[in-house]
Amino acid sequence: MNYLIYPIYNGSFTVGMGNTDFFPDVKNIPSYAFLIVQSNTGKAVLIDTGFSQSYIPGVGSTSVRTENNHMDTALAKLGFKAQDIETVVMTHLHWDHTGSLASFSHARIYVQAEEIRSLIHLPVREECSFCPSHWLPCLKQLELLEGSSEILPGLKVLFTGGHTAG
């Protein structure tokens, strides 16, 4: 099975952490999602959904986004609408990956089960990394993965771990 991969630039953001030595400001972080399209069927899978300008934690946080960087506009440039996307894969549930998740209220959303389990006992310093209002409305759509799994023929989600549990 052949797939085409399209990067979707969602804009950039700066997280204001108060200019402390422990948490310096994190500046001009680019945000990307990826659209993976099955070349023979045109079926599309979205990897992450970018950030929402309405939620960027930290005092003095900012973002830069043009109309072209909005998820719906970016998808349209590739010939898709949010309603065309039946499958969304979340690499993890941090706010900068889940910002447009509500636009895919009809889609199956894959996320690692370990990511969900880890939310029960979050360290206080990590609480602002998650924006539950992005993904709580989608709970019924979640398909929990236990490790690496093939979600479509020839398309496998790998459990790699990283800066979150899932």
pLDDT in tens, 58-99: 777 888 888 888 999 999 999 999 999 999 999 999 999 999
Multiple choice CATH, 3-157, 3.90.1010.10, 3.30.70.270, 3.60.15.10, 3.20.20.70: 3.60.15.10
Please give the Cα distance from 144 to 32 (Å, whole number). Answer: 23
Average pLDDT of 47-67? Answer: 87
Least reliable range by pLDDT among 19-23, 49-53, 106-110 = 19-23
Q: Is residue 137 pLDDT above 80, yes or no?
A: yes
